Structure 1
Amino acid sequence: MEFSFDRSKHVFYSLEFEELIKDTIRFFNGTPIQPIPPLEDFEGAGVYALYFIGKNGLYKDFHDINRLDFRQPIYIGKAVPRGWRQGRIATSSSHELYRRLYDHTKSILAAQNLDVKDFLCRFMILENAASNLIGTVEAALIRHYRPLWNCIVDGFGNHDPGSGRYNQERSEWDTLHSGRNWANRCAEPSKSIDDILKDVEHYFMGFNNV
């Protein structure tokens, strides 16, 4: 058997798929805003965004950005259903999305310099075959919005690494927002708090110059 290589024969492209992702993002941006955690527990997995609306503090510039419309999330994430990574079709029977938002609420409440009242969320439930889009939609939203806590201040979505693994560095998020007990056990970060604050300042300069 003889082999040859032509890269073009390995590249997948679908205009229909691009339009489908655009449709999901349009739907996502039209979903109702909720407090965190949402008013009611609910079934399902999917994609979500957090918005900062506070008038004071490190992220006060978000107040003006989101004052008339919730146009810039501070964080975007996903919650996948049980069995998703093993390739099982997901149903609405799990509560993974609500639980993820509830976990984020606890992280914000634990932080010494954040107020959960300054945060709102929106989310989109993807179930059955549509659950295959969860990771794709999350990545598309992150690329489009470049949320601060995804792209500049990393670590908000981290979990307790567990005993024996606290030698890893404390995240940038936990450096700015100390309070999570498990994060305090992690090693000192290599990036100083002043450098992280400069990165945050530079991030907001991008909005002020538009």
Structure 2
Amino acid sequence: MPASPNPSSENFPSPKKPSQKPRKSKAWRIAAEERHSDPYNPLDLENLGRSVEAELLNRKPEPLDEVSPVYGSGIYALYYCGPNPLYAEISSRDCLVPVYVGQARPTGVRKGTAEEKPDATTLWDRIYEHKQSLGQVHDLEISDFSVRYLVAIEAFVSIAERVIIRHYRPVWNSIVDGFGNHDPGANRRKDSYRPAWDELHPGRWWSHPDNMPTPSKTPADVSRSRIRDLFAGRLSEEAVLSIEAEQTEEGKND
């Protein structure tokens, strides 16, 4: 096989020296500063919460009265798709905006003693409690509710709940407090304020005036007005946060 001829400079264009790195003008630096953000950290608490949120929202909604058996703890979102005009703005079979977001964590988690058993049904039990609550009220039907839920590691559940609530501002988390409340017990019912949610949607046996005679500090008409204002965009972020703080404080004083 004949050897390749030696390359000749005549066959190649003259090489060009690469240009130097351009100097950054003042305008360039101003533009870069305007777009500046911290480097993405997948382990940042906010981003971890968003990843759990994304996985939850990827789950297919199930009818609240037909939730499949499941072990473990986790997070869930309730959706309303019924005819009650108060919730017309979010009522949808597509389950786009949750009416309530909650979490189910193992017993003892607040004391640092939580160690969930493999056969624990914490999440399913919590969802079932909501089914019972809605089954007792007079102006809502269980068949008009769906739920997305996700079994998740306990350490990420609270983070994800905060992220989702901040994202959607579910009306029963932000404007009308008390849906997630448990029966305070016979010794406390007489001296406790009725939850604002029970004032708006009466029916739960333990919040009946015979059992819990002191009405909520937030009358039903006030809650209805706030819900309408929220859906109409008439409540600022500051106003929503103020309402949340007000109802949290009321709960502490029960």
What TM-score results when the alignment is normalised by the length of structure 1? 0.83
> Unaligned stretches of 5+ in structure 1?
1-13
Conservation of the 8 A alpha-carbon contact between 1:54 and 1:62? no
The alpha-carbon deviation at position 177 of structure 1 amounts to 0.8
Deviations 1:86-105 (A, max 9, x none): 24443542101111111100
Is residue 2:243 matched to residue 1:193? Answer: no
Conservation of the 8 A alpha-carbon contact between 1:110 and 1:179? yes
Percent of residue pairs identical:
33
Kindly provide the amino acid, as one letter, of the partner of residue 217 in structure 2: S
Q: How far apart, CA to CA, are the structure 2 residues paired with 1:111 and 1:196?
A: 16
Conservation of the 8 A alpha-carbon contact between 1:50 and 1:74? yes
Q: How far apart, CA to CA, are the structure 2 residues paired with 1:62 and 1:21?
A: 23
Runs of 4+ in 1 over 4 A off after TM superposition: none
Is residue 2:231 matched to residue 1:204? Answer: yes
1:206 aligned counterpart, secondary structure:
coil
- Give the match for residue 71 of structure 1: 96
Deviations 1:98-120 (A, max 9, x none): 11111100100100110111100
> Unaligned stretches of 5+ in structure 2?
1-39, 235-254
Q: How far apart, CA to CA, are the structure 2 residues paired with 1:22 and 1:174?
A: 31
Instruction: Using the TM superposition, name which of 110-119 and 77-86 deviates more.
Output: 77-86
- Give the match for residue 109 of structure 1: 135
| Higher relative contact order (Cα pairs below 8 Å, separated by 6+ residues) | 1
What TM-score results when the alignment is normalised by the length of structure 2? 0.69
Deviations 1:2-60 (A, max 9, x none): xxxxxxxxxxxx82323332221111110111111444222111000000011334212
Q: How far apart, CA to CA, are the structure 1 residues paired with 2:120 and 2:65?
A: 17
Kindly provide the amino acid, as one letter, of the partner of residue 16 in structure 1: P
Conservation of the 8 A alpha-carbon contact between 1:76 and 1:147? yes
RMSD of aligned C-alpha atoms? Answer: 2.0
Q: How far apart, CA to CA, are the structure 2 residues paired with 1:82 and 1:71?
A: 31
- Give the match for residue 136 of structure 1: 159
Kindly provide the amino acid, as one letter, of the partner of residue 205 in structure 2: N
1:164 aligned counterpart, secondary structure:
helix
The alpha-carbon deviation at position 164 of structure 1 amounts to 1.9
Deviations 1:142-182 (A, max 9, x none): 11111000000100000110122121111111001111111
Q: How far apart, CA to CA, are the structure 2 residues paired with 1:39 and 1:48?
A: 12
